[in-house]
Structure 1
Amino acid sequence: MNTYGRNFRVTTFGESHGKALGAVIDGCPPGIALAEADIQPYLDRRRPGTSDLVSARSEADRVEILSGTFEGVTTGTPLALIVYNSNQRSGDYDALRDLFRPGHADYTYHAKYGIRDHRGGGRSSGRETLSRVAAGAVAVNILGCCGIRVAGSIREIHGKTGHAEMEAEIRSARDRGDSVGGIVEVIVTGCPPGLGDPVFGKLDAAIAAALMGIGAVKGVEIGDGFAAARASGSENNDPLTPEGFASNHAGGILGGISTGQEIVARIAVKPTPSINLPQRTVDAAGAEREIRIGGRHDPCIVPRIVPVAECMTALAVLDAFLEREKYRGFLEKEE
Structure 2
Amino acid sequence: MSGDSIGKLFKVTNWGESHGPALGCVVEGCPSGLSLSEDDIQPFLDRRRPGQSQLVTQRKEGDKVRILSGVVDGKTTGTAISLMIENNNPRSKDYSEFAKLFRPSHADFTYQKKYGIRDVAGGGRSSARTTAANVAAGAIASKLLASQKIEIVSWVEAVGDIQSTMSPDKVTTALVESNPVRCPDSNVVNQMEEKILEVRKQGDTIGGVVRCVVRNMPLGLGEPLFDKLEADLAKAMMSINASKGFEIGSGFEGTKMHGSEHNDIFYKNEAGEVKTHTNYSGGVQGGISNGMDLDFKVAFKPVATLMQNQQTVDLEGNPIEYHGRGRHDPCVLPRAVPIVDAMTALVICDHWLRYRAYQS
TM-score per shorter chain, which class? over 0.9
Equivalent of 1:249 in 260, 272, 280: 280
Give structure 2 stretches of 5+ with no counterpart. Answer: 164-187, 270-274
Q: How far apart are the structure 2 equivalents of 1:74 and 1:216?
A: 34
Cα distance, 1:137 vs. partner? 1.2
Partner residue in 2 for 1:163: 189
Report whether the alignment pairs 1:207 with 2:207. Answer: no
Which segments of structure 1 move beyond 2 Å, counting only runs of 4 or more? none
Structure 1 match to 2:92: 90
In structure 1, what is the Cα distance between the partners aligned to 2:125 and 2:334?
Answer: 21
CA distance in 2 between partners of 1:37 and 1:262 (Å): 29
Match for residue 71 of structure 1 among 48, 73, 77: 73
Q: How does 1:177-326 map to 2 (within 5 A)?
A: 177-243=203-269, 244-326=275-357
Structure 1 gap ranges (5+):
330-335
TM-score w.r.t. the length of structure 2 is 0.90
Shift of 1:5: 0.7
> Which SS does the other structure have where 1:289 is aligned?
strand
Could you tell me how far apart the structure 2 residues matched to 1:280 and 1:77 are?
50
Per the alignment, residue 64 of structure 2 pairs with 62
Tell me by how many angstroms 1:83 deviates: 0.4
Residue type of the partner of 1:94? S
For residue 62 of structure 1, report the CA deviation from its aligned partner.
0.5
Distance 1:103 1:43 in 2: 27
Take 1:305 and 1:33, find their aligned partners in 2: how far apart are those partners? Answer: 27
Secondary structure of residue in 1 paired with 2:155: strand
Report the Cα distance in structure 2 between the residues aligned to 1:231 and 1:290, rounded to whole angstroms: 47
Cα offsets for 1:50-78 (capped at 9, x unmatched): 11111010000010111111111111010
What is the number of equivalent residue pairs in this alignment? 329
TM-score of the two chains, using structure 1 as the length reference: 0.97
User: SS of 2:340's equivalent?
Assistant: helix
Q: Deviations over 1:247-282 (max 9, x none)?
A: 111110000000111001100001111111111111
Instruction: Provide the aligned C-alpha RMSD in A.
Output: 0.8
Instruction: Kindly indicate whether residue 117 of structure 2 is the aligned counterpart of residue 115 of structure 1.
Output: yes
Distance 1:42 1:151 in 2: 13
Task: Output aligned runs, 1:127-166, within 5 Å.
Answer: 127-161=129-163, 162-166=188-192
The CA distance in 1 between the partners of 2:80 and 2:256, in whole Å, is 47
- Is 1:175 the equivalent of 2:201? yes
2:156 partner SS: strand
Look up the equivalent residue of 1:63 and give its one-letter code. V
- Give me the whole-angstrom Cα distance separating, in 2, the residues matched to 1:231 and 1:36: 48
Q: Equivalents in 2 of 1:31, 1:182: separation in Å?
A: 40
CA distance in 1, matches of 2:240, 2:72: 32
Measured after TM superposition, the shift of residue 41 of structure 1 is 1.1
3-state SS in 1 of match to 2:59: coil
For residue 66 of structure 1, give the secondary structure of its aligned residue in structure 2: strand
Greater mean deviation of Cα atoms: 171-180 or 240-249: 240-249
The answer on 1:22 being equivalent to 2:48 is no
How far does the alpha carbon of each residue in 1:99-150 deviate from its partner, in whole angstroms, 9 at most, with x for none?
1111111100001000001111011001011111111111111111111111
Report what 2:39 is aligned to. Answer: 37
Which secondary structure state, in structure 1, belongs to the residue aligned with residue 39 of structure 2? helix
Question: What are the Cα deviations for residues 175-221 of structure 1, in whole angstroms up to 9, with x where unaligned?
Answer: 00000001001111111110001111100101111101112100000
What letter corresponds to residue 197 of structure 2 in structure 1? Answer: R
Name the SS of the counterpart of 1:184 in structure 2: strand
What is the percentage of aligned positions where both structures have the same residue?
A: 47
Q: Offset of 1:297 from its aligned partner?
A: 0.7
Q: CA deviation at 1:31?
A: 1.0
SS in 2 for 1:306: helix
